[in-house]
Amino acid sequence: MIKRLTYLLVGIFLLAGRPDLHAQNADLIAAHDFANQNKVDSAKARIDKAMSDPKVQKDAQAWYVRGFIYKMYYKAKESENRSSPARIEAVRSFRKSMQLDTSKQLLNDDKENLKYLAVRYHNDAAKALDTSNYETPIYNFQQYKDIMNEIEPSMSTKGKEIEFTMALATVYTNLYLASPRVRNKYLDMAKGAYNRVLTVDPDNVSANYNMGILYYNQAVYLIKVTDFDIDLTTMDGLQENQIKLFKQSLPLIEKAYQLDPQKEEAVQALSGIYFGLNDYQKSQLFMEKLEQMKKQKKDK
Amino acid sequence: MKKTAFIIMAYIFLTAFQQREDAAAMNAKYKTIYLYSFTKYIEWPPDYKDGNFVIGVCGTQTSLLAELNRMASTKTAGSQKIEIRSITNIEAAGKCHILFLPTENMVQFGDVASKLKGHGTLLVTEKEGMLKKGSAVNFIVVDSKIKFQLSKLNAEKQKLKISHELEALAVSSND
Protein backbone atom coordinates (compact mmCIF):
# COMPACT_ATOMS: atom_id res chain seq x y z
CA MET A 1 0.00 0.00 0.00
CA ILE A 2 2.81 2.44 0.93
CA LYS A 3 4.53 1.79 -2.36
CA ARG A 4 1.32 2.25 -4.30
CA LEU A 5 0.72 5.57 -2.59
CA THR A 6 4.24 6.65 -3.41
CA TYR A 7 3.59 6.02 -7.03
CA LEU A 8 0.29 7.75 -7.02
CA LEU A 9 1.96 10.71 -5.34
CA VAL A 10 4.12 11.05 -8.40
CA GLY A 11 0.97 11.53 -10.36
CA ILE A 12 -0.52 13.94 -7.87
CA PHE A 13 2.66 15.94 -7.72
CA LEU A 14 2.71 16.19 -11.47
CA LEU A 15 -0.90 17.13 -11.62
CA ALA A 16 -0.32 19.77 -9.02
CA GLY A 17 2.02 21.42 -11.48
CA ARG A 18 -0.74 21.46 -14.04
CA PRO A 19 -3.39 23.88 -12.69
CA ASP A 20 -5.06 24.06 -16.10
CA LEU A 21 -5.74 20.36 -16.10
CA HIS A 22 -6.62 20.33 -12.45
CA ALA A 23 -9.12 23.11 -12.80
CA GLN A 24 -10.76 21.71 -15.84
CA ASN A 25 -10.92 18.11 -14.82
CA ALA A 26 -12.20 17.27 -11.42
CA ASP A 27 -12.69 13.70 -12.55
CA LEU A 28 -8.98 13.21 -12.82
CA ILE A 29 -8.45 14.31 -9.21
CA ALA A 30 -11.41 12.26 -8.06
CA ALA A 31 -9.96 9.21 -9.80
CA HIS A 32 -6.73 9.80 -7.82
CA ASP A 33 -8.61 10.05 -4.59
CA PHE A 34 -10.56 6.88 -5.19
CA ALA A 35 -7.41 5.06 -6.13
CA ASN A 36 -5.74 6.20 -2.91
CA GLN A 37 -8.71 4.82 -1.02
CA ASN A 38 -8.36 1.58 -2.95
CA LYS A 39 -11.82 2.06 -4.45
CA VAL A 40 -10.89 0.65 -7.81
CA ASP A 41 -14.35 0.58 -9.41
CA SER A 42 -14.93 4.25 -8.69
CA ALA A 43 -11.38 5.17 -9.68
CA LYS A 44 -11.80 3.36 -12.99
CA ALA A 45 -15.17 5.02 -13.70
CA ARG A 46 -13.82 8.49 -12.94
CA ILE A 47 -10.60 8.13 -14.91
CA ASP A 48 -12.55 7.02 -17.97
CA LYS A 49 -14.86 9.98 -17.53
CA ALA A 50 -11.83 12.24 -17.29
CA MET A 51 -10.39 10.77 -20.47
CA SER A 52 -13.40 11.91 -22.47
CA ASP A 53 -11.94 15.40 -22.26
CA PRO A 54 -9.85 16.03 -25.42
CA LYS A 55 -7.30 18.00 -23.40
CA VAL A 56 -6.80 15.14 -20.99
CA GLN A 57 -6.45 12.76 -23.89
CA LYS A 58 -3.30 14.59 -24.90
CA ASP A 59 -1.78 14.49 -21.45
CA ALA A 60 0.92 11.95 -20.63
CA GLN A 61 0.35 12.23 -16.89
CA ALA A 62 -3.36 11.52 -17.25
CA TRP A 63 -2.56 8.40 -19.25
CA TYR A 64 -0.04 7.36 -16.63
CA VAL A 65 -2.72 7.69 -13.93
CA ARG A 66 -5.16 5.76 -16.06
CA GLY A 67 -2.62 3.00 -16.57
CA PHE A 68 -1.98 2.87 -12.86
CA ILE A 69 -5.68 2.65 -12.01
CA TYR A 70 -6.29 -0.06 -14.58
CA LYS A 71 -3.31 -1.97 -13.25
CA MET A 72 -4.79 -1.72 -9.75
CA TYR A 73 -8.11 -2.90 -11.10
CA TYR A 74 -6.48 -5.82 -12.87
CA LYS A 75 -4.67 -6.88 -9.70
CA ALA A 76 -7.77 -6.53 -7.57
CA LYS A 77 -10.40 -7.99 -9.87
CA GLU A 78 -8.89 -9.78 -12.84
CA SER A 79 -5.59 -11.24 -11.74
CA GLU A 80 -6.83 -14.76 -12.52
CA ASN A 81 -8.27 -13.73 -15.86
CA ARG A 82 -5.63 -14.54 -18.44
CA SER A 83 -7.43 -12.41 -21.01
CA SER A 84 -7.97 -9.54 -18.57
CA PRO A 85 -9.40 -6.47 -20.37
CA ALA A 86 -8.09 -4.24 -17.55
CA ARG A 87 -4.54 -5.42 -18.18
CA ILE A 88 -4.92 -4.65 -21.87
CA GLU A 89 -6.11 -1.16 -20.99
CA ALA A 90 -3.32 -0.65 -18.46
CA VAL A 91 -0.72 -1.53 -21.08
CA ARG A 92 -2.35 0.70 -23.65
CA SER A 93 -2.41 3.60 -21.19
CA PHE A 94 1.24 3.32 -20.14
CA ARG A 95 2.23 3.07 -23.78
CA LYS A 96 0.23 6.18 -24.58
CA SER A 97 1.80 7.96 -21.63
CA MET A 98 5.27 7.10 -22.93
CA GLN A 99 4.35 8.31 -26.37
CA LEU A 100 3.02 11.67 -25.15
CA ASP A 101 5.67 12.24 -22.49
CA THR A 102 8.09 14.40 -24.44
CA SER A 103 9.78 15.57 -21.21
CA LYS A 104 10.54 11.91 -20.31
CA GLN A 105 9.57 12.65 -16.71
CA LEU A 106 7.40 9.57 -16.56
CA LEU A 107 9.53 7.31 -18.69
CA ASN A 108 10.97 5.17 -15.88
CA ASP A 109 7.62 4.80 -14.15
CA ASP A 110 5.85 3.89 -17.36
CA LYS A 111 8.53 1.33 -18.12
CA GLU A 112 8.48 -0.19 -14.64
CA ASN A 113 4.73 -0.63 -14.80
CA LEU A 114 4.86 -2.07 -18.29
CA LYS A 115 7.58 -4.46 -17.22
CA TYR A 116 5.44 -5.64 -14.32
CA LEU A 117 2.53 -6.30 -16.69
CA ALA A 118 4.82 -7.99 -19.24
CA VAL A 119 6.07 -10.43 -16.61
CA ARG A 120 2.49 -11.19 -15.63
CA TYR A 121 1.72 -11.92 -19.29
CA HIS A 122 4.71 -14.21 -19.43
CA ASN A 123 3.76 -16.05 -16.28
CA ASP A 124 0.19 -16.50 -17.40
CA ALA A 125 1.44 -17.97 -20.67
CA ALA A 126 3.72 -20.35 -18.79
CA LYS A 127 1.05 -21.45 -16.33
CA ALA A 128 -1.78 -21.98 -18.77
CA LEU A 129 -0.10 -23.70 -21.70
CA ASP A 130 -1.48 -27.17 -22.22
CA THR A 131 -3.22 -29.27 -24.84
CA SER A 132 -6.64 -27.86 -24.03
CA ASN A 133 -5.51 -24.29 -24.18
CA TYR A 134 -2.73 -22.88 -26.27
CA GLU A 135 -4.20 -19.87 -28.07
CA THR A 136 -4.44 -17.56 -25.05
CA PRO A 137 -0.92 -18.46 -23.88
CA ILE A 138 0.38 -17.69 -27.38
CA TYR A 139 -1.32 -14.30 -27.24
CA ASN A 140 -0.01 -13.65 -23.73
CA PHE A 141 3.51 -14.61 -24.63
CA GLN A 142 3.39 -12.35 -27.66
CA GLN A 143 2.27 -9.48 -25.41
CA TYR A 144 5.19 -10.16 -23.08
CA LYS A 145 7.61 -10.16 -26.00
CA ASP A 146 6.22 -7.01 -27.61
CA ILE A 147 6.31 -5.04 -24.37
CA MET A 148 9.81 -6.17 -23.43
CA ASN A 149 11.16 -5.43 -26.90
CA GLU A 150 9.64 -1.98 -26.64
CA ILE A 151 10.86 -1.05 -23.18
CA GLU A 152 14.14 -2.94 -23.03
CA PRO A 153 15.23 -3.51 -26.62
CA SER A 154 18.74 -4.38 -25.49
CA MET A 155 17.50 -7.26 -23.35
CA SER A 156 16.96 -10.32 -25.49
CA THR A 157 13.82 -12.38 -25.06
CA LYS A 158 15.38 -15.16 -27.13
CA GLY A 159 15.87 -17.55 -24.20
CA LYS A 160 12.29 -17.21 -23.03
CA GLU A 161 11.05 -17.53 -26.59
CA ILE A 162 12.93 -20.78 -27.10
CA GLU A 163 11.55 -22.20 -23.85
CA PHE A 164 8.02 -21.21 -24.74
CA THR A 165 8.19 -22.45 -28.32
CA MET A 166 9.65 -25.77 -27.23
CA ALA A 167 6.79 -26.21 -24.79
CA LEU A 168 4.33 -25.20 -27.49
CA ALA A 169 5.83 -27.76 -29.87
CA THR A 170 5.34 -30.41 -27.19
CA VAL A 171 1.72 -29.39 -26.79
CA TYR A 172 1.18 -29.67 -30.56
CA THR A 173 2.97 -33.02 -30.60
CA ASN A 174 0.75 -34.33 -27.82
CA LEU A 175 -2.32 -33.17 -29.72
CA TYR A 176 -1.00 -34.90 -32.84
CA LEU A 177 -0.31 -38.11 -30.94
CA ALA A 178 -3.81 -38.05 -29.48
CA SER A 179 -5.14 -38.47 -32.98
CA PRO A 180 -2.22 -39.49 -35.16
CA ARG A 181 -3.68 -39.45 -38.62
CA VAL A 182 -1.13 -39.44 -41.38
CA ARG A 183 -1.98 -35.82 -42.17
CA ASN A 184 -2.75 -33.85 -39.07
CA LYS A 185 -2.60 -30.08 -38.62
CA TYR A 186 -0.92 -30.46 -35.24
CA LEU A 187 1.95 -32.36 -36.81
CA ASP A 188 2.61 -29.42 -39.12
CA MET A 189 2.23 -27.00 -36.21
CA ALA A 190 4.74 -28.97 -34.13
CA LYS A 191 7.20 -29.00 -37.01
CA GLY A 192 6.66 -25.26 -37.48
CA ALA A 193 7.39 -24.61 -33.80
CA TYR A 194 10.59 -26.70 -33.84
CA ASN A 195 11.65 -24.94 -37.04
CA ARG A 196 11.22 -21.56 -35.34
CA VAL A 197 13.45 -22.73 -32.47
CA LEU A 198 16.04 -24.10 -34.88
CA THR A 199 16.08 -20.85 -36.82
CA VAL A 200 17.16 -18.88 -33.74
CA ASP A 201 19.06 -21.69 -32.03
CA PRO A 202 20.32 -24.24 -34.57
CA ASP A 203 22.31 -26.08 -31.90
CA ASN A 204 19.36 -26.78 -29.65
CA VAL A 205 19.71 -30.50 -28.89
CA SER A 206 16.08 -31.06 -27.88
CA ALA A 207 14.68 -29.25 -30.91
CA ASN A 208 16.91 -31.20 -33.30
CA TYR A 209 16.09 -34.49 -31.62
CA ASN A 210 12.34 -33.91 -31.25
CA MET A 211 11.97 -32.67 -34.81
CA GLY A 212 13.91 -35.71 -36.04
CA ILE A 213 11.67 -38.02 -34.02
CA LEU A 214 8.59 -36.35 -35.47
CA TYR A 215 9.75 -37.33 -38.96
CA TYR A 216 10.80 -40.73 -37.69
CA ASN A 217 7.49 -41.54 -36.05
CA GLN A 218 5.64 -40.23 -39.08
CA ALA A 219 7.60 -42.64 -41.26
CA VAL A 220 6.82 -45.59 -39.02
CA TYR A 221 3.20 -44.53 -38.73
CA LEU A 222 2.75 -44.64 -42.51
CA ILE A 223 3.17 -48.40 -42.60
CA LYS A 224 1.67 -49.05 -39.17
CA VAL A 225 -1.78 -47.94 -40.33
CA THR A 226 -1.53 -49.61 -43.72
CA ASP A 227 -3.93 -52.46 -44.36
CA PHE A 228 -2.49 -55.87 -45.21
CA ASP A 229 -4.54 -55.78 -48.44
CA ILE A 230 -2.61 -52.86 -49.93
CA ASP A 231 -1.58 -53.60 -53.49
CA LEU A 232 2.12 -53.92 -54.08
CA THR A 233 2.39 -50.96 -56.45
CA THR A 234 0.83 -48.66 -53.86
CA MET A 235 3.11 -50.13 -51.22
CA ASP A 236 6.10 -49.18 -53.37
CA GLY A 237 4.98 -45.54 -53.26
CA LEU A 238 4.49 -45.84 -49.53
CA GLN A 239 8.05 -47.08 -49.10
CA GLU A 240 9.23 -44.15 -51.20
CA ASN A 241 7.52 -41.67 -48.87
CA GLN A 242 8.77 -43.46 -45.82
CA ILE A 243 12.36 -43.33 -46.98
CA LYS A 244 11.99 -39.63 -47.65
CA LEU A 245 10.82 -39.13 -44.05
CA PHE A 246 13.64 -41.21 -42.60
CA LYS A 247 16.10 -39.18 -44.64
CA GLN A 248 14.59 -35.98 -43.25
CA SER A 249 14.94 -37.37 -39.75
CA LEU A 250 18.54 -38.51 -40.16
CA PRO A 251 20.44 -35.16 -40.24
CA LEU A 252 18.46 -33.82 -37.28
CA ILE A 253 19.13 -36.84 -35.08
CA GLU A 254 22.76 -36.90 -36.24
CA LYS A 255 23.11 -33.29 -35.17
CA ALA A 256 21.52 -33.98 -31.77
CA TYR A 257 24.00 -36.82 -31.35
CA GLN A 258 26.97 -34.65 -32.38
CA LEU A 259 25.90 -31.97 -29.92
CA ASP A 260 25.36 -34.47 -27.13
CA PRO A 261 27.27 -37.71 -27.76
CA GLN A 262 26.05 -39.12 -24.44
CA LYS A 263 22.44 -38.92 -25.51
CA GLU A 264 21.32 -42.54 -25.59
CA GLU A 265 17.96 -41.73 -27.19
CA ALA A 266 19.74 -40.24 -30.21
CA VAL A 267 21.91 -43.34 -30.64
CA GLN A 268 18.85 -45.55 -30.38
CA ALA A 269 17.00 -43.40 -32.91
CA LEU A 270 19.95 -43.56 -35.34
CA SER A 271 19.88 -47.33 -35.11
CA GLY A 272 16.16 -47.21 -35.84
CA ILE A 273 16.55 -44.83 -38.79
CA TYR A 274 19.17 -47.01 -40.44
CA PHE A 275 16.97 -50.04 -39.82
CA GLY A 276 14.12 -48.17 -41.48
CA LEU A 277 16.42 -47.42 -44.42
CA ASN A 278 17.21 -51.13 -44.49
CA ASP A 279 20.87 -50.47 -43.78
CA TYR A 280 21.22 -53.20 -41.18
CA GLN A 281 24.98 -52.91 -40.76
CA LYS A 282 24.83 -49.27 -39.70
CA SER A 283 21.79 -49.98 -37.57
CA GLN A 284 23.72 -52.70 -35.79
CA LEU A 285 26.72 -50.39 -35.26
CA PHE A 286 24.56 -47.88 -33.40
CA MET A 287 22.86 -50.63 -31.44
CA GLU A 288 26.30 -51.84 -30.28
CA LYS A 289 27.26 -48.27 -29.41
CA LEU A 290 24.13 -47.97 -27.33
CA GLU A 291 24.91 -51.17 -25.46
CA GLN A 292 28.43 -49.87 -24.78
CA MET A 293 27.03 -46.62 -23.43
CA LYS A 294 24.63 -48.44 -21.17
CA LYS A 295 27.38 -50.70 -19.90
CA GLN A 296 29.68 -47.74 -19.19
CA LYS A 297 26.89 -46.02 -17.33
CA LYS A 298 26.24 -49.12 -15.27
CA ASP A 299 29.95 -49.57 -14.46
CA LYS A 300 30.29 -46.00 -13.17
CA MET B 1 6.58 -0.96 -6.74
CA LYS B 2 6.33 -4.65 -6.00
CA LYS B 3 8.44 -6.61 -8.46
CA THR B 4 7.03 -9.66 -10.12
CA ALA B 5 9.52 -12.39 -10.81
CA PHE B 6 9.35 -14.70 -13.79
CA ILE B 7 7.86 -17.93 -12.61
CA ILE B 8 9.86 -21.06 -13.03
CA MET B 9 8.58 -22.56 -16.22
CA ALA B 10 6.86 -25.71 -15.23
CA TYR B 11 6.02 -26.38 -18.83
CA ILE B 12 9.63 -26.87 -19.80
CA PHE B 13 9.34 -30.41 -18.46
CA LEU B 14 6.77 -31.06 -21.11
CA THR B 15 9.54 -31.03 -23.65
CA ALA B 16 10.41 -34.61 -22.87
CA PHE B 17 11.95 -36.69 -25.61
CA GLN B 18 9.42 -38.56 -27.58
CA GLN B 19 9.11 -42.26 -27.74
CA ARG B 20 10.71 -43.92 -30.73
CA GLU B 21 8.48 -46.26 -32.67
CA ASP B 22 9.76 -49.72 -33.39
CA ALA B 23 11.45 -49.86 -36.78
CA ALA B 24 11.78 -53.65 -36.65
CA ALA B 25 8.01 -53.97 -36.50
CA MET B 26 7.78 -51.76 -39.57
CA ASN B 27 10.15 -53.98 -41.51
CA ALA B 28 8.12 -57.01 -40.42
CA LYS B 29 4.95 -55.36 -41.67
CA TYR B 30 6.38 -54.98 -45.19
CA LYS B 31 7.40 -58.61 -45.28
CA THR B 32 3.99 -59.65 -43.99
CA ILE B 33 2.25 -57.64 -46.71
CA TYR B 34 4.45 -59.30 -49.32
CA LEU B 35 3.86 -62.81 -47.95
CA TYR B 36 0.14 -62.22 -47.78
CA SER B 37 0.11 -60.77 -51.32
CA PHE B 38 1.82 -63.90 -52.63
CA THR B 39 -1.26 -65.87 -51.57
CA LYS B 40 -3.24 -63.84 -54.13
CA TYR B 41 -0.80 -64.07 -57.03
CA ILE B 42 0.33 -67.70 -56.78
CA GLU B 43 -1.64 -70.86 -57.33
CA TRP B 44 -0.81 -73.87 -55.19
CA PRO B 45 -1.27 -77.50 -56.28
CA PRO B 46 -4.74 -79.03 -55.70
CA ASP B 47 -3.63 -81.05 -52.66
CA TYR B 48 -2.66 -77.76 -50.99
CA LYS B 49 -6.10 -76.23 -51.35
CA ASP B 50 -7.64 -77.96 -48.36
CA GLY B 51 -7.16 -77.23 -44.70
CA ASN B 52 -5.28 -74.26 -43.32
CA PHE B 53 -2.98 -72.15 -45.42
CA VAL B 54 0.30 -72.47 -43.53
CA ILE B 55 2.99 -69.81 -43.48
CA GLY B 56 6.09 -71.08 -41.71
CA VAL B 57 8.95 -68.94 -40.43
CA CYS B 58 12.27 -70.62 -39.75
CA GLY B 59 13.34 -69.56 -36.28
CA THR B 60 11.61 -67.37 -33.79
CA GLN B 61 11.77 -63.90 -35.35
CA THR B 62 9.46 -62.29 -32.84
CA SER B 63 8.41 -59.13 -34.68
CA LEU B 64 7.67 -60.96 -37.94
CA LEU B 65 5.72 -63.72 -36.21
CA ALA B 66 3.73 -61.12 -34.31
CA GLU B 67 2.88 -59.22 -37.50
CA LEU B 68 1.99 -62.40 -39.38
CA ASN B 69 -0.30 -63.49 -36.57
CA ARG B 70 -1.98 -60.10 -36.64
CA MET B 71 -2.56 -60.50 -40.37
CA ALA B 72 -3.78 -64.12 -39.98
CA SER B 73 -6.33 -63.07 -37.40
CA THR B 74 -8.19 -60.95 -39.96
CA LYS B 75 -7.31 -62.33 -43.40
CA THR B 76 -7.70 -65.58 -45.31
CA ALA B 77 -5.96 -67.07 -48.33
CA GLY B 78 -8.96 -67.50 -50.58
CA SER B 79 -11.24 -69.68 -48.51
CA GLN B 80 -8.41 -71.09 -46.39
CA LYS B 81 -7.73 -69.93 -42.88
CA ILE B 82 -4.15 -68.71 -42.47
CA GLU B 83 -2.01 -70.43 -39.88
CA ILE B 84 1.39 -69.13 -38.79
CA ARG B 85 4.06 -71.55 -37.62
CA SER B 86 7.41 -70.91 -36.05
CA ILE B 87 9.62 -73.68 -37.46
CA THR B 88 12.58 -74.98 -35.51
CA ASN B 89 13.13 -78.18 -37.49
CA ILE B 90 12.40 -78.50 -41.22
CA GLU B 91 11.83 -82.25 -41.05
CA ALA B 92 9.07 -81.66 -38.51
CA ALA B 93 7.67 -78.59 -40.24
CA GLY B 94 4.78 -80.40 -41.85
CA LYS B 95 3.00 -79.08 -44.88
CA CYS B 96 3.77 -75.40 -45.45
CA HIS B 97 2.44 -73.30 -48.30
CA ILE B 98 5.02 -70.61 -47.74
CA LEU B 99 8.26 -71.00 -45.84
CA PHE B 100 10.27 -67.90 -44.98
CA LEU B 101 13.94 -68.40 -44.20
CA PRO B 102 15.47 -65.30 -42.53
CA THR B 103 19.16 -64.61 -43.14
CA GLU B 104 20.11 -65.09 -39.52
CA ASN B 105 18.74 -68.65 -39.56
CA MET B 106 20.29 -69.83 -42.81
CA VAL B 107 23.22 -71.64 -41.24
CA GLN B 108 21.06 -73.33 -38.65
CA PHE B 109 18.58 -74.64 -41.23
CA GLY B 110 21.11 -75.66 -43.92
CA ASP B 111 19.95 -76.53 -47.40
CA VAL B 112 16.25 -75.94 -47.00
CA ALA B 113 15.57 -75.88 -50.76
CA SER B 114 16.62 -79.48 -51.31
CA LYS B 115 14.61 -80.61 -48.29
CA LEU B 116 11.50 -79.01 -49.79
CA LYS B 117 12.04 -80.43 -53.26
CA GLY B 118 8.80 -81.62 -54.82
CA HIS B 119 6.62 -80.13 -52.09
CA GLY B 120 4.21 -77.38 -52.98
CA THR B 121 6.06 -74.94 -50.79
CA LEU B 122 7.04 -71.44 -51.81
CA LEU B 123 10.49 -70.85 -50.33
CA VAL B 124 11.10 -67.19 -49.53
CA THR B 125 14.56 -65.97 -48.57
CA GLU B 126 16.25 -62.60 -48.05
CA LYS B 127 19.83 -62.91 -49.20
CA GLU B 128 21.47 -62.00 -52.48
CA GLY B 129 22.08 -65.09 -54.65
CA MET B 130 19.44 -67.29 -53.04
CA LEU B 131 17.47 -67.84 -56.24
CA LYS B 132 20.47 -69.82 -57.48
CA LYS B 133 20.17 -71.96 -54.40
CA GLY B 134 16.58 -72.88 -55.04
CA SER B 135 14.38 -70.24 -53.46
CA ALA B 136 11.46 -68.98 -55.54
CA VAL B 137 11.20 -65.52 -53.96
CA ASN B 138 14.05 -63.52 -52.52
CA PHE B 139 13.69 -60.21 -50.67
CA ILE B 140 16.39 -57.68 -51.46
CA VAL B 141 17.00 -54.01 -50.64
CA VAL B 142 16.99 -51.65 -53.63
CA ASP B 143 17.49 -47.94 -52.97
CA SER B 144 16.58 -48.52 -49.31
CA LYS B 145 13.32 -50.23 -50.29
CA ILE B 146 12.38 -53.85 -49.67
CA LYS B 147 11.71 -55.48 -53.03
CA PHE B 148 11.62 -59.05 -54.22
CA GLN B 149 13.19 -61.18 -56.91
CA LEU B 150 11.37 -64.08 -58.42
CA SER B 151 12.42 -67.39 -60.02
CA LYS B 152 9.51 -68.74 -62.01
CA LEU B 153 11.53 -71.83 -62.72
CA ASN B 154 12.10 -72.62 -59.04
CA ALA B 155 8.44 -71.99 -58.34
CA GLU B 156 7.37 -74.35 -61.10
CA LYS B 157 9.64 -77.03 -59.70
CA GLN B 158 7.48 -76.77 -56.59
CA LYS B 159 4.33 -77.07 -58.74
CA LEU B 160 3.41 -73.45 -58.12
CA LYS B 161 1.87 -71.22 -60.78
CA ILE B 162 3.01 -67.60 -60.67
CA SER B 163 0.74 -64.93 -62.12
CA HIS B 164 1.99 -62.48 -64.73
CA GLU B 165 1.13 -59.56 -62.40
CA LEU B 166 3.52 -60.85 -59.77
CA GLU B 167 6.21 -61.41 -62.37
CA ALA B 168 5.81 -57.83 -63.49
CA LEU B 169 6.25 -56.53 -59.94
CA ALA B 170 9.43 -58.49 -59.28
CA VAL B 171 12.90 -57.02 -59.57
CA SER B 172 14.92 -58.66 -62.30
CA SER B 173 17.59 -61.03 -61.16
CA ASN B 174 20.89 -62.21 -62.56
CA ASP B 175 20.52 -65.48 -60.70
**Average pLDDT of every residue of chain A:** 89
Quote the DSSP letter at residue B119: S
Handedness of CA A236, A237, A238, A242 (dihedral sign): positive
Residues of chain A found within 8 Å of residue B71, distances taken between Cβ atoms? 228
What is the C-alpha separation between A276 and A268, in angstroms, rounded? 12
Q: In this predicted structure, what is the pLDDT of residue B115?
A: 82
Assigned CATH for B2-173: 3.40.50
What is the C-alpha separation between B169 and B175, in angstroms, rounded? 17
Handedness of CA A272, A275, A279, A280 (dihedral sign): positive
Element (H, E) at A138: helix A135-151
Residues of chain A found within 8 Å of residue B146, distances taken between Cβ atoms? 239, 278
Nearest CB to A232: which of B1, B37, B74?
B37
What is the C-alpha separation between B170 and B158, in angstroms, rounded? 19
Lowest-pLDDT choice from A95-104, A191-200, B8-17, B120-129: B8-17
What pLDDT digit, counting tens, does each position of A186-235 carry? Answer: 999 999 999 999 999 999 999 999 999 999 988 888 888 899 999 999 99
Tell me whether B79 touches chain A (CB under 8 Å). Answer: no
Residues A116, B16: C-beta atoms closer than 8 Å = no
User: Could you state, in order of their start, the residue ranges of all structural domains in chain B?
Assistant: 2-173
Residues A230, B10: C-beta atoms closer than 8 Å = no
Lowest-pLDDT choice from A10-24, A170-184, B17-31, B111-125: A10-24
Q: How far B48 CA sits from the closest chain A CA (Å)? A: 22
Q: Does residue A5 surpass a pLDDT of 60?
A: no
The bridge status of strand B137-142 relative to strand B145-150 is antiparallel
User: Could you state, in order of their start, the residue ranges of all structural domains in chain A?
Assistant: 1-151, 203-300
What pLDDT digit, counting tens, does each position of B76-123 carry? Answer: 999 999 999 999 888 877 789 999 999 888 777 677 888 888 889 999
Question: Taking the CB of residue A297, how many other CB atoms lie within 10 A of it?
Answer: 10
Domain A203-300 fold: 1.25.40
Q: How far B132 CA sits from the closest chain A CA (Å)? A: 23
What pLDDT digit, counting tens, does each position of B23-50 carry? Answer: 778 889 999 999 999 999 999 999 999 9
Q: Express the helix, strand and coil content of chain A in percent, nearest 5 each.
A: 80, 0, 20
Q: Does residue B13 surpass a pLDDT of 80?
A: no
Beta-carbon-side half-sphere exposure of residue B82 (alpha carbons within 13 Å): 24
Reduced to 3 states (helix: H, G, I; strand: E, B; else coil), residue A81 is coil
Q: In this predicted structure, what is the pLDDT of residue B17?
A: 42
> Domain A1-151: which CATH class?
mainly alpha
pLDDT band at residue B6 using 50, 70 and 90 as cut-offs: low
Radius of gyration for chain A, computed over Cα atoms and rounded to the nearest angstrom: 28
Asked whether A222 and A242 are in contact (CB, 8 A), the reply is yes
Tell me whether B12 touches chain A (CB under 8 Å). Answer: yes
- What's the pTM? 0.82
What is the C-alpha separation between B121 and B118, in angstroms, rounded? 8
Q: Does residue A113 surpass a pLDDT of 80?
A: yes
Residues B15, A278: C-beta atoms closer than 8 Å = no
What pLDDT digit, counting tens, does each position of A264-294 carry? Answer: 989 999 999 999 999 989 999 999 999 999 9
**Average pLDDT of every residue of chain B:** 85
Residues of chain B found within 8 Å of residue A120, distances taken between Cβ atoms? 4
Mean pLDDT of B147-153: 95
Domains A1-151 and A203-300 belong to one CATH topology: yes
Residues A206, B15: C-beta atoms closer than 8 Å = yes
Helical segments of B42-93, H only: 62-72
pLDDT band at residue B175 using 50, 70 and 90 as cut-offs: low
- A278 Rama sector, left if φ>0, alpha if ψ -120 to 50, beta otherwise: left
Q: How far A54 CA sits from the closest chain B CA (Å)? A: 30
Nearest CA in chain A to B143: A277
Question: What percent of chain B lies above the pLDDT cut of 90?
Answer: 62
Nearest CB to A3: which of B2, B33, B71?
B2
What is the C-alpha separation between A221 and A216, in angstroms, rounded? 9
Gap between the terminal Cα atoms of chain A: 57
Residue A112, φ and ψ in degrees, nearest 5: -60, -45
What is the C-alpha separation between A112 and A118, in angstroms, rounded? 10
Q: How far A11 CA sits from the closest chain B CA (Å)? A: 14
Element (H, E) at B162: strand B161-162
Q: Does residue A142 surpass a pLDDT of 50?
A: yes
**Residue among A210, A278, A281, A286 with most chain B CBs within 10 A, to mutate:** A278
